[in-house]
Copies of this chain bind each other. A is one copy, B any other.
Amino acid sequence: MENLINKQWTLHSRPDPDVILSNFKYTESPVQYPKKGEVLLKIHYLNLAPVMRMYMMADGGGYSTESILGIGDVIHGRGVAEVIASMHDSYQVGDFVQGQVGWQTYKLSSMTKQEKFRKMSPRKLPIYYGLSALGMTGYSAYCGFIARGEPKEGDAVLVSGAAGGVGSLVIQIAKALGCSPVIGIAGGQEKCAIVKDLGADAVIDYKTENVSDQISALLPDGLDVYFDNVGGEILETALGHLKKSARIVLCGAISEYARKEPFSLKNYGLVRQKGADLRGFFVYNHPHLYEEAETRIAQWIKEGKLRALMDIEEGFTNVPQSLIGLYTGSNIGKRIVKVSEGPEINY
């Protein structure tokens, strides 16, 4: 192990307000051999997400106080890693795990609960799925839709953020379960085309169409399940089209991040009038469903019923630039960076 070099990206300065290259500092240090209770992980893939800017801000961007980085800290991030040395009873060399690895190429870990590591079952699928359909994104789509949306065959389903990581999977899970029709909401022609291509029965472009009119036309009897990734105006619009006992899953609220004042929901009374449910969803409340989610999603992938939107870049050196690209570019699908060479399929 003494020959291995750990490469790291640490926080050098805070975004003000945009993330720029000089916010990051590159360092190298020798890799240590694990002590009792530790494993040595080799990191293969890193997950990038817009929320990372929040971790870099002094106040956590109002997102979380637990994840705020100090100057000099390794940048937080989830990844897929391989156990290459183990002094831990529960892990063996060759195991793949996904969890909190940080922006580095190796990590010594005691595999604490806070790092939220999860051993990846062999699925005969590429390991990077552990950062999308077979990881937290997939669990979010599956647990949120199944446990909170309680869909039945034939249910009319509406999904916002339908070209996003979670939304694009919900569209496909809804179709696989026999919901009908399954309608997506996305912004712009390109994203709408992708959602249609994933199997949605129809897609509403919120940038050019009147969302309420389109829902009325497509779902004249209203909707059974609305899977909300955006909050705000689109949530309010969807509440105007509920069937009796409809379920609204509040999964994300991307529209709220850029707002100065929180959005005020004027028509919450419809939830009472329709006997409907507005259900908050937090994926970490549903760990008992992760294995089931993985098994079924892996099966759907193999059957060609489900496709994960991924945008895979290469090179540890490029990680900061890949993150910055998320704020300016129009990536489709989850951005993942391959940071090491190694096995690609998890047998």
Q: Which residues of A contact B (CB under 8 A)?
A: 231, 244-245, 250-253, 256, 262-282, 285
Contact present for B282 and A275 (CB under 8 Å): yes
A256 vs B272: C-alpha distance when bound (angstroms):
12
Shortest CB-to-CB span from A237 to chain B, Å, is 14
Listed from nearest, the 3 A-B pairs whose CB atoms lie closest are: A264-B264, A250-B272, A275-B282
Contact B281 A253, beta carbon cutoff 8 Å: no
- Known A-B contacts A262-B266, A272-B253; the reply to A278 vs B281 at CB < 8 A is no
Number of copies: 2
Q: Which partner residue on chain B sits nearest A228 by CB separation? A: B272
User: Is B280 touching A277 in the complex (CB atoms < 8 A)?
Assistant: yes
Q: How far is A215 from B152 in the complex, measured between Cα atoms in Å?
A: 38
Q: Roughly how many angstroms separate A280 CA and B246 CA in the complex, as a whole number? A: 10
Q: 23 A-B contacts, Cβ less than 8 Å apart?
A: A231-B272, A244-B282, A244-B285, A245-B285, A250-B272, A251-B272, A262-B266, A262-B269, A263-B268, A264-B264, A264-B265, A265-B266, A268-B268, A268-B278, A272-B280, A272-B282, A273-B280, A274-B280, A275-B280, A275-B281, A275-B282, A277-B278, A278-B279
Q: Which residues of B contact A278 (CB under 8 A)?
A: 268, 271, 277-279
Contact with A267, one of B262, B271, B273, B279 (Cβ below 8 angstroms): B262
